[in-house]
Homo-oligomer: A and B are copies of this chain.
Amino acid sequence: MKLHGYFRSSASYRVRIALNLKGLSVEHLPHHLRRGEQRDPSYLAINPQGLVPALQDDAGAVLTQSLAIIEWLEETHPEPPLLPIEPWRRAKVRAFAMVLACDTHPVQNLKVLARLRQLGLPDDQVTGWAAWANQEGLSACEVLIAGEAGPFCFGDTAGLADLCLVPQLANARRFGVDLTAFPRLLEAEMAAKHLKAFADAAPERQSDAE
């Protein structure tokens, strides 16, 4: 299998962590988003959205969307599980993940920020926009797990919530968000970063890192 990605893409980072947690190795094919390589016709033939990640099997078939890829990994490689067993608990974990993957990251991704610049917003307002999106999402996430046992987001095992959280916190720092209001999220991040699966997936450890 091949994973089309970009070292700094937080959606690619999620899938890298999931693959590592499952003990699966894939070939990594980087596409340089800041140079626009994701809009190359050869890549659009793989993913018509022009986004990373995309997972490609050995026959060339493609899966897109990080959470869809991760749900597929969970269904086909169930051990170790990334979701709890009980349906309501699974939904709580998925909801946390989606606060970040649906309502936070897409509002501050490169494409959206580029559009804001095209509309004439100055750089400080564009960065402010990205910081706002992160602040909103992380604030909700902090409340969602306030009553959950640690050290990870949901208990004593890293899973779907953690693999969405760690990349999003990296984005938040890049946009200058003050994270001191999120002690529970930082506790989960620290626990996750001690795991090799997370450390090996970090942007700075990828072959295309700059």
Interface residues, chain A, CB within 8 Å of chain B? 48-49, 51, 61, 63-65, 67-69, 71-72, 75-76, 87-88, 90-92, 94-95, 98-99, 101-103, 105-107, 111-112, 115, 119, 121, 125, 129, 132, 136, 139-140, 143-144
Contacts and interface: CB of A to CB of B under 8 A. Distances in A.
Contact of A94 (B51, B71, B95): B71
A150 B81 CA distance: 34
A128 to B, nearest CB: 9
Chain A binding site: helix, strand, loop or mixed by DSSP?
helix
B75 A90 contact: yes
Contacts of A92: 63, 68
Given A48-B140, A48-B144, A72-B90, 7 more contacts: A48-B139, A68-B98, A69-B91, A71-B91, A72-B88, A101-B102, A111-B136
A143 B48 contact: yes
A39 to B, nearest CB: 12
A65 B67 CA distance: 14
Q: Please indicate which of the listed interface residues A87, A91, A129, A136 has the most CB atoms of chain B within 10 Å of its own CB.
A: A91
A63 B96 CA distance: 10
A125 to B, nearest CB: 6
A33 B44 CA distance: 37
A192 B68 CA distance: 23
A68 B139 CA distance: 19
A67 B98 contact: yes
Contacts of A87: 72, 75-76
Contact of A103 (B49, B119, B121): B49
Contacts of A65: 94-95, 98-99, 102
A46 to B, nearest CB: 11
B90 A71 contact: yes
A129 B115 contact: yes
11 contacts: A51-B103, A63-B95, A64-B99, A65-B99, A68-B91, A69-B95, A72-B87, A98-B101, A102-B105, A107-B112, A115-B129
